[in-house]
Amino acid sequence: MTEQQWNDLLAILRGKVRPTMPAFIIDCPWLPNWYGVNILDYFQSDDVWFEANKKAIETFPECAFLPGFWSEFGMCTEPSAFGCKCQFPENEFPFAEKMIQSEEQVDALSQPNTTVDGLLPFMLNRLKRNRSRIEAMGHQIRFSVSRGPLNIASFLMGTTEFLMLLGTDPERTHRLLKTINAFLIDWHERQRAAVDSIDGMLVLDDIVGFVSEADFMEFAFPYLKELFAAPVSVKLFHNDADCRQSVRHYPDLGINLYNPGVHMTLNELHEATGHRLAILGSMPPRDVLAAGTPDEVGKAARGMLAECKDKARLVPSCAGGMPPGVSTANLRAFIAALH
């Protein structure tokens, strides 16, 4: 992000009305194929990764892209540190195979070393190696990034298996989540220590949307609150699964910017959270931003703005991250509609 974009974002989080600034979470589901390369090349090559992000910034200078030059290996980044077998097809999303085959194996799970384990050193080294190139463009690395504790647990043992454990063995579930969360706290600290321009964090956890309010308060709230206690200015949470059972609690976690799905309108989100956090959203990503015509995207963007009562706490975007297949024309139509 540029210094101006960062300052505008901070103003929005304080509830100050600023010129409308669109922002999008972009990563491997959209960026490589939009740029014209396969996903494996995007992960493997520093130059391809840098030039793809640079192209997006230069094509859409009005947009803030979050977290900005995201160094990632898809969903494999954090599970790899625990020892998951990771698959990297040439032009499909990578996938981490579960490593916990029985509930008893949870007891033997150890906290990874964030300096050496899995893909973490490669992710962080990419940022350090390319920092000078990023800053030469007038941008800075502002966010540490990770998946959330429930999301990582679902990769380590499978989503169904994790949710069954949550329902049948609370003690063991807490043991698992404590280990994961201690790792995540250390991982975000490691990123901040390596890149001193970081003053924000992005945590992504869709599994939060799979559980009841009671289970959220027991198995998600305490760990996310601990994680979001980090000393940074922007605390961005992504959960584009159903948030109706938990969203009113998000401000109490310390979150000040939320990227939702399509389950609630902007007005419903602001009302549910007492206007205490900004919303990064919330155009339907697949059915409108990706599948619509430019005219349909423009109409939807204008309607989204017109219907939103609390524009001071709005960062116009799509619900969730940028989906595959969004065209340059559609994204330009979105931007134009805001002005």
Segment 42-61, tens digit of pLDDT:
999 999 999 999 999 999 99
What letter does residue 286 receive in the DSSP assignment?
Answer: I
DSSP H helices in the chain: 3-13, 31-35, 39-44, 46-59, 77-82, 120-136, 149-157, 159-168, 170-194, 213-215, 221-227, 266-272, 294-307, 328-338
Please give the DSSP secondary-structure letter assigned to residue 288.
I
Q: What is the pLDDT of residue 19?
A: 58
User: What's the pLDDT tens digit per position in 67-118?
Assistant: 999 999 999 999 999 999 999 999 999 999 999 999 999 999 999 999 999 9
Which pLDDT belongs to residue 16? Answer: 79
pLDDT for residue 182 is more than 70: yes
The three-state secondary structure class of 201 is: strand
What's the distance, CA 315 to chain centroid?
Answer: 15
Within 13 Å, how many C-alpha atoms sit on residue 285's CB side? 23
The confidence score (pLDDT) of residue 18 equals 63
Note the pLDDT of residue 328: 98
Q: What is the pLDDT of residue 20?
A: 78
Region 9-33: mean pLDDT is: 90
165 CB contacts (<8 Å, ≥6 apart)? 103, 106, 157, 172, 173, 176
Q: What is the pLDDT of residue 137?
A: 97
Q: CA-CA distances (angstroms) from residue 107 to 11, 148, 177, 201?
A: 45, 20, 11, 29
Give per-residue pLDDT as tens, 158-181. Answer: 999 999 999 999 999 999 999 999
Q: What is the mean pLDDT of residues 114-139?
A: 98
Question: What tens digit of pLDDT does each residue of 184-228 get?
Answer: 999 999 999 999 999 999 999 999 999 999 999 999 999 999 999
In this structure, are residues 145 and 120 in contact, taking their beta carbons and an 8 Å threshold?
A: no
Instruction: Report whether pLDDT(339) > 90.
Output: no
First and final CA of the chain: distance in angstroms? 20
Helix pair angle (328-338, 294-307), 10° resolution = 30
Q: Determine the CATH number of domain 3-338.
A: 3.20.20.210
Mean pLDDT of the chain: 96
Residue 249 above 80 pLDDT? yes
In percent, the amount of the chain with pLDDT more than 70 equals 99
55 Cα distance to chain centroid? 21
Q: How many CA atoms lie within 13 A of 161 on its CB side?
A: 17
Nearest to 202 by CA among 244, 243, 259: 259
